Structure 1
Amino acid sequence: MTHLFQPLPLRGLTLPNRIAVSPMCQYQATDGLANDWHLVHLGGLAQGGAGLVITEATAVVPEGRISPDDLGLWNEAQAKALARIAHFIASQGAVPGIQLAHAGRKASNPAPWKGGGSIPLAAGGWTPVAPSALPFDEGWTVPTALDEPGILAVIEAFMDAARRAVAAGFRVIEVHAAHGYLLHQFLSPLSNHRADAYGGSFENRTRLVREVVGALRNILPEDLPLLVRISASDWMEGGWTPDESVALAKELGALGVDLVDCSSGGLVPRAQIPLGPGYQVPFAARIRAEAGLPTGAVGLITGAEQAEQILAQGSADLVLLGRELLRDPRWPLHAAQALGAEISWPASYLRAAQGQVPTRQPLPPTSR
């Protein structure tokens, strides 16, 4: 058996293989509601053979959306719309997961193809919140620094969204603490200039992430895994570092986190990131080795042999694919074929799995 297609036990459930759909914003929601686009997008990826299908960053409050077109989970109507998708994912043999998020100072932006920067208030934008009143970039809306009641409200919002997610049928919860969004903003000295219990030292800067994780672990069913996505490096002098990521991972493990999803960057514009195949895998490998916690590797993983090697070398326990799955939603089925592994195909697609190529029938003559 290949490593890529070995089951992965996480707490009380088992993923059928080590391939996960990385959360990818679609910018197709209205008022945070999932619709047919999300059903077809996520459902198709479940049909394609991924063991874990994670929704895009799903905002826990309206002002926590990256854009007005993002998914949300702050009310029951949104939970009902997502339940339909979670049910379909599970019906295809995949595990439905959801990423819960708050965009912080990077909120109130248009979809990428509509331009960049903050949406003006007069055009339907809103004032974002952050650990400190520091905008993401020049020309962006200056956020409001959260006070302590505001921080407590964020924790409560994550808890409420997690309860709705479980009731909707999601079996894996991931906390988004990466890519320059709110929880990552608290972690990094570049965006967190606070002088209270949530700023300054490593212990203080990591406090909100630890409080969110601890609160969720306390309310989630014991058998459901809790994942955290982090940016293991800001790729910027004076920012969050890989050493701090290892230290945080150790604390997350003690709080009941089951896997750390290792990404990087996103906190500041124009960071110098050395992009290349599997460029973030060393972060997953180091955290796995030094923190003793399962990890997920993500970032420019495109080939079956490449993914297999990451797992075979012990660099990670799970590979998460994003853009490659947009290009080829059936990537897991094709990877199994390439590696000589067995994988279940949807019954309606078995003709393709068996390599049957129907003979093309000649077209009838056309009359003019």
Structure 2
Amino acid sequence: MPSSPLLFQPFRLGPLTLSNRIVIAPMCQYSASDGNADDWHLMHMGQMTLSGAGLFVIEATAVEPEGRISAADLGLWSDANETALRRVLDAVRRHSAMPLAIQLAHAGRKASVARPWEGGAQIAPTAGGWQTVAPSTIPHAAHEHPPQALDADGLRRIRSAFSDAARRAARLGLDAIEVHAAHGYLLHQFLSPLANARDDAYGGSLENRMRFPLEVFDAVRAAFVHDRPVGVRISASDWVQGGWDIEQSVALARALQARGASFIHVSSGGLSPAQKIGLAPGYQVDFAARIREATALPTIAVGLITEAEHAESILAAGQADLIGIARAMLYDPRWPWHAAAKLGASIKAAPQYLRCAPHEHARLFG
């Protein structure tokens, strides 16, 4: 391995400097009350922000109550949500200088479900859930309660909800925003012809299907602090014949680049139960590489990247600029420490932990 591994070299997202290339990707905790962060979020974010990663992205955060995946999702639509998250952020910042981003989201037709450990099934309005919305009345799965197609007023409401949440994020001093347009949620639903059967200006052609996600991006970009990064997470493929694919993703990335996007976080799938995904380490990396090559936008690769050597090889091959680590961080909240030890790099740690490095890694903390 090189004496100065790429994974532990600084990287700039506009004016924001990350100390290394490890991004803690958003991971839903399903532990909020009326959208409000609580002590679980303080414990979770405390662990993550003491890990030594370069950037922490707060979980998918709903911009309106109906946009939550589950009733226990984090939100940023109200003063109460903002106050609750501020308490967590203030505590975390007292002990960590790690940059903090937030993923703003709307679940669309995939909203109103039980938490994963409670089965994850849709909860219909008649069973205590709520009416979902989408580009069209096509349900995610055939047996589910169908969504309501958004009309002009609904589109305006959701655009405004995203911009309002972006202003709240700015007041909270967050360093970046990631707009969630992946995993089969609302903005992805507009992009994919499998979910979008509209015959107006928001459906049909690729240009029309991209229109609403681009309008949302523009609204967030305009509402957030002008020199702080705003990027987008996309699903580069539906993994279903006739659905959203990598070439359409390249077209979207180019359109976002023209509008001032700071990065693209490249995932895949989530839109259709018919998806056929061949899971393997780095199975989404080629998508990130294609988009990076086509746009030169800073690109985050994610997807079963669990080993430090694999992460380093992706960067060395020029396939991505940053590496997103998600479930591996839950399994090992010191993943960046252990990656640095494997690659022979040094990493920052809280002073309370400086004496913990094993003798063979005595220089781990510089």
1:46-125 matches, cutoff 5 A: 46-90=49-93, 91-125=95-129
Q: Output one character per residue of 1:296-349: Cα deviation in whole Å (capped at 9) or x when no partner.
A: 000101001111111111111111111110110000011111111111111111
* Aligned pair partner of 1:202 in 203, 206, 216: 206
Number of the residue aligned with 2:364: none
Q: 1:53 and 1:232 mapped to 2: Cα distance?
A: 22
Q: Does 1:32 align with 2:35?
A: yes
Number of the residue aligned with 1:245: 249
Number of the residue aligned with 1:141: 145
Q: Output one character per residue of 1:76-108: Cα deviation in whole Å (capped at 9) or x when no partner.
A: 111111123333444412111100000000000
* Aligned pair partner of 1:181 in 181, 185, 191: 185
Q: 1:356 and 1:76 mapped to 2: Cα distance?
A: 49
- The one-letter code of the counterpart of 1:176 is H
Q: 5+ residue gaps in structure 2?
A: 362-366
Q: Secondary structure at the match of 1:278?
A: coil
Q: Secondary structure at the match of 2:102?
A: strand
- The one-letter code of the counterpart of 1:47 is L
Quick check: which has more Rg, 1 or 2? 1
Going from structure 1 to structure 2, the CA distance change for 1:310 and 1:87 (only over 3 Å counts) comes to: farther
1:1-368 matches, cutoff 5 A: 1-90=4-93, 91-353=95-357, 355=359
8 A Cα contact 1:55 1:97, kept in partner: yes
Q: 1:49 and 1:238 mapped to 2: Cα distance?
A: 42
8 A Cα contact 1:176 1:229, kept in partner: yes
8 A Cα contact 1:58 1:101, kept in partner: yes
Q: 2:162 and 2:266 mapped to 1: Cα distance?
A: 21
Going from structure 1 to structure 2, the CA distance change for 1:13 and 1:89 (only over 3 Å counts) comes to: farther
Q: 2:296 and 2:15 mapped to 1: Cα distance?
A: 19
- The one-letter code of the counterpart of 1:315 is Q
Scaled by the length of structure 2, the TM-score of the pair is 0.95
**Percent identity of the aligned residues?**
56
Q: Output one character per residue of 1:173-194: Cα deviation in whole Å (capped at 9) or x when no partner.
A: 0000000000000000000000
Q: Secondary structure at the match of 1:68?
A: coil
How large is the RMSD of aligned CA atoms in angstroms? 1.4
- The one-letter code of the counterpart of 2:70 is S
Of residues 184-193 and 308-317 in structure 1, the stretch that sits farther from structure 2 once superposed is: 308-317
Number of the residue aligned with 1:360: none
Q: 2:64 and 2:77 mapped to 1: Cα distance?
A: 6
8 A Cα contact 1:284 1:316, kept in partner: yes
Scaled by the length of structure 1, the TM-score of the pair is 0.95
Q: Secondary structure at the match of 2:356?
A: helix
Q: 5+ residue gaps in structure 1?
A: 358-368
- The one-letter code of the counterpart of 1:18 is R
- The one-letter code of the counterpart of 1:159 is S
8 A Cα contact 1:87 1:169, kept in partner: no
Going from structure 1 to structure 2, the CA distance change for 1:97 and 1:269 (only over 3 Å counts) comes to: same
